[in-house]
Amino acid sequence: MTKFSASTSTRILVTGGAGYIGAIATYILLDAGYEVVVLDDLSTGHKDSVDSRAKFIQGSILDKEVIIKALAGCEGVLHFAGKSLVGESVLKPDLYVETNVEGSRNLLDSMLVLGVKKIVFSSSASTYGEPSSIPISENSETKPTNPYGLSKLAVDDLLAERSTLDGFAACSLRYFNVAGSLKTKNGWLSESHDPETHLIPNVLKASHANPLKIFGSDWPTADGTCIRDYVHVVDLVEAHILALKNLTTPGHVVINLGSGRGYSVNEVIDTASKVLGAEITVVMAERRAGDPAVLVASIAKAKEVLGWTPLRDLESMIQDTYQASL
Ligand code: UFG
């Protein structure tokens, strides 16, 4: 039995299990011996991504009736469902409050009805906003700069409150830049967003006709491009399983998930060029609104509390994503 195996046949609800990270989590949980129920409204997810061993329920976290149906017999929840585009959140802030915050509140209310008390939540580095120091620890100030980050922080606060009031055992995992893909028996599970805003898929898609836009080359960094902390989606999912196992007593814990090291946009492009064995066509563009210059996680707490260490490097994130795109 590996450290990720289920001890008995434990049933877990995965909200947003048809999305990029949720579908990979579903697959890994199933392989580890868990039973999985996926609840997803397919507003951005893909039904084809959900492994056939999971029970799939199409429905929204805004609908308590369907949540209660999905939760039957579950011992815990991995809560991925939500809106996740920074740009969209600026245009439609109410959508982010409704789906992310009210949806999470519905989920907790429904869990309480059935006595399901364990929840691992997809939070985000965007809760920190523009950091005052690097690396960012969980004690750093939270000052989101957009409605997406605000909605994630509101859920973190809600979990803290409800763990005290209602005895939930909750963990907020604050993701930095998630990348990479998983090869399954049925093919690759990978990122497929429309529109695609993330750097690695866009680097791999770049062509002479459609060059990669580098958003700013005058940032206060060594090469002038932004620095981010990329973490492989499989490492990230493994941290979720460890977090779930760690939920033994009521309370709320916040844990960063990154690799603990930063790469500039130019370094990502150079690594991709090495993987592809070809030059990437780029064009310089204006800075993108809302981008902080540098985001790098301290992952000391993940190591200490979860015993988690990310194992997969940037090259493998790019290699996997490339293979998945063929
Ligand atoms: N970038 C480009 N060109 C592109 C795409 C991205 O230069 O075509 C740059 C961005 O300006 C940024 C870096 O590459 O400097 C990474 O951008 P991503 O869009 O891949 O990721 P972000 O850092 O913007 O966003 C990620 C998550 C968000 C989360 C945020 C937290 O995707 O969900 O981190 O800060 F909110």
Q: For atom 13 of ligand 1, which residue has the closest CA?
A: 199
Q: Tokens at residue 60, please?
A: 């929204």
Give the pairing of strands 263-264 and 177-179: unpaired
Integer Cα distance of 30 and 1 in angstroms: 14
Residues 38, 18 contacting (CB under 8 angstroms): yes
- The closest residue, in CA terms, to atom 35 on ligand 1 is 126
Q: What is the CA radius of gyration of the chain?
A: 19
- Host H or E run for residue 104: helix 103-114
- Rounded distance between C-alpha atoms, residue 163 and residue 175, angstroms: 21
Q: How many residues does the chain have?
A: 326
Pair 79, 244: CB distance under 8 Å: no
Does residue 61 sit in helix, strand or coil?
coil
Say whether 132 sits in a helix, a strand or coil.
Answer: coil
Query: Residues 181-214: pLDDT tens digits?
Result: 999 999 999 987 778 899 999 999 999 999 999 9
Compute the distance from residue 302 Cα to the ligand 1 centre, in Å: 23
Q: 156 is written with which tokens?
A: 């973190």
Chain-centroid distance of CA 215 in Å reads: 23
Residue 264 CB less than 6 A away from ligand 1: no
Cα(6) to centroid of ligand 1, in Å?
34
Structure tokens at 31: 């392989």
Among the atoms of ligand 1, which is closest to the Cα of residue 85? 33
How many other C-beta atoms lie within 10 A of the C-beta of residue 128? 25
Position in ligand 1 atom list of the atom nearest CA 214: 7
Catalytic residue chosen out of the listed positions 27, 34, 128, 148: 148
Range with the poorest average pLDDT among 13-27, 90-104, 193-207, 248-262: 193-207
- Residue 84 CB–ligand 1 contact under 6 Å: yes
- Condensed to tens digits (0 to 9), the pLDDT of residues 274-297 reads 999 999 999 999 999 888 999 999
Element (H, E) at 203: helix 199-205
Give nearest CA residue, ligand 1 atom 14.
199
CB of 256 closer than 6 A to ligand 1? Answer: no
In short, whether 66's Cβ falls inside 6 Å of ligand 1 is no
Copy the structure tokens of residue 87. 């740009």
Distances 243 to 240, 273, 305 between C-alpha atoms, Å: 5, 35, 9
pLDDT tens digit sequence for 69-85: 999 999 999 999 999 99
pLDDT in tens, 217-239: 999 999 999 999 999 999 999 99
Catalytic: 148? Answer: yes
Given a cut of 50, whether residue 94 has pLDDT beyond it is yes
